[in-house]
Amino acid sequence: MPSSTPIMDRAAIERSAPPTLTPPISTPALRVEGLTKRFGEVIAVDDLTLEVPRGTVFGFLGPNGAGKTTTIGMLLGLVHPTRGRVEVLGRRVRPGDPAALRRVGALVGAPALIPSLSARRNLALLAGLVPGHDGRAAIDAALRRVGLGDAAHRRAGTFSTGMKQRLGLAMALLEEPDLLILDEPTSGMDAAARREVKNLLREAAAEGVTVFLSSHLLHEIEQVCDEVAVLDRGRLVTRGPVASLLPDATMVRVRVDDPVAAARRLEALEGVTRIDANGSYLEVEGVDPQRLVAFLVGAGHVPSEVTSGRPDLETLFLQLTAPEDGTRTGVEA
Amino acid sequence: MIALTSVELTKLFRRPPLWLLLGAVGAALVLLAVAIALSAPPEAGERPSALELAVPFGILAGQVLAAIAGAALAQEYQWRTLPLWLARGVARGPLLLARFLATLPALLLVALVPVAVGLLLSLGRLEAALLASHLSLDGLALAVLAMAFGVLPYVALSLGLAVGTRAVAVPVGGVLLLALLVEPIVGQLAPRIGAYLPSSLSRTLLAGGGDGRLAAGLLIALYTAVLLAVAVAAFRRQDLTG
């Protein structure tokens, strides 16, 4: 497993650091060791070990039911691990004693808000959790940052889905956290708003904030994340920098009349490492486009359309999380 | 803890249910007093005064407030504000205790409103001087405190039901079922057992003598402490997924 920096004596950090003290920069923002969660006979998360370096934008992917939400719940002290430990910003997270989470901002699932209160009042309640703190400036800054400055006094219950999501983001950004844990932060947002959020996350990372991001929008993850981890059936199947995970091989996409028959013929072509039939298209890796087209023409399957490029994160994700029986009912991170 | 309680107070007092309840209690008491006054002539003598009516109204309103407190907590599971706060480093035990503490001033208010309305209605019926000579402000204050205190087990029960089920209907149904159905039935069928249930203890607290009042107060405190401890323990063990 890649690790950015040597790890300090964690026990010493736990003993010495008061909750409000920022731990040494050399500690990872997030460290998970042997994390396991069972619900009866079902193993939701199985021996997960993970480290997220500070200042990175880290993508956390997996299909439905992979254990992402349970993992995030354990990171945030909302779910009791069956086994293993979670450290956030150098301090251990224990459900019921989550002092380690005071420098963490989170948006998990649908944004949490009280519909009858204004956006400002919702944020004020959250700011009020910090004793003696006048959160007005922080609230204004958070609302401006997510583009809700003009809607500050509107009741949150009247907001559109996208606006509620922005308010949830403002809550996560309140008090300038050192670590952001976000689950589907752009859900319900239009394209322009999603772009703003992407920029916002990159800005936050540039300011030293670590972002732990779960999203089903894989192209966004690819654009914004430095590293990703893929979880499947509760187990970590891969992790690392996005660029290093994507194969170097070129993927060629061709449209043919009979993809299944063409795929059978292609199995004989030397160098081919992967063939996927997808509707009337074939996706082929390991062979250059000219050779592929020449082979198909020779085999009587003249392509009507040919495109080529590097496999993207979505392709990698589908390969890594393919069901054992070959069926797939939905793809989601 | 102070900051947390202050936030919980804001949530309780800045939302409509509490004020709707207070308005409904005051209006219902006025309507009932007017109905009694119209139906029985003053010389009938035995008709209850508005102040006497205030006590059952105050207790019932307190029980409804207890149900609302539990419903509001269950609602926050659905709004996901509870996980949000816990994920911001708020400990579970203090969060639930803060919610309980924030209910106390609202309970006092709910007990005070019918007494105040009853007092105003009584002023309208009697000579002010005559009323003043019979009125004990200390007694009224004690009655308000006793009404609020007597409802505490219902608040603790309601919070526990909300934690246990995360459903709005359960604390509302549970508290009202206990107060309006189970306790009266047990009181009728098994008076010796019924005497130890919260509503009977509450009546003893309001009307009983020295030792009886002390015992009732202690039992109410015990009920409250046990129910609250169970609610906190369940909350601390809970997995907040989904």
Q: What is the pLDDT of residues A95-104, one digit of tens each?
A: 766 678 888 8
Extract the tokens encoding B12. 């309780």
Distance from the Cα of B14 to chain A's closest Cα (Å) equals 8
| Cβ neighbours of B79 in A, within 8 Å | 112-115
pLDDT for the residue numbered A11: 43
Q: Are A333 and A225 in contact (CB under 8 A)?
A: no
Q: For the segment A63-95, what is each residue's pLDDT rounded down to a tens digit? A: 888 888 899 999 998 899 999 999 998 888 887
Residue A104 near chain B (CB below 8 Å): yes
pLDDT for the residue numbered A287: 81
Decide if pLDDT at A282 tops 70.
yes
Extract the tokens encoding A150. 């003009």
Extract the tokens encoding A222. 């690819």
CATH class, domain A251-311, is alpha beta
Alpha helices, DSSP H, located in chain A:
10-16, 68-75, 119-127, 136-145, 161-173, 191-206, 218-224, 242-245, 259-266, 289-298, 313-320
* Diameter of chain A measured on Cα atoms: 78
Distance from the Cα of B41 to chain A's closest Cα (Å) equals 47
Pairing verdict, β A227-232 and A83-88: unpaired
Of A117 and B52, more confident:
A117
What letter would DSSP give residue A79? S
User: B87 vs A108: CB contact, 8 Å cut-off?
Assistant: yes
Region(s) of chain A under CATH 3.40.50.300: 10-242
Residue B3 near chain A (CB below 8 Å): yes
Asked if this assembly's ipTM is beyond 0.90, the reply is no
User: A112 vs B79: CB contact, 8 Å cut-off?
Assistant: yes
Of the segments A46-55, A60-69, B114-123, B135-144, which one has the largest average pLDDT value?
A: A46-55
Region(s) of chain A under CATH 3.30.70.100: 251-311
Q: What CATH superfamily is the domain A10-242?
A: P-loop containing nucleotide triphosphate hydrolases (3.40.50.300)
Q: Record the pTM.
A: 0.73
Of B117 and A143, more confident:
A143
d(CA B105, CA A34): 47
Decide if pLDDT at A308 tops 60.
yes
Most B CBs within 10 A among A36, A103, A121, A126, hence the mutation to make, goes to A126
Neighbours of B124 (CB within 10 A): 10
d(CA A76, CA B89): 9
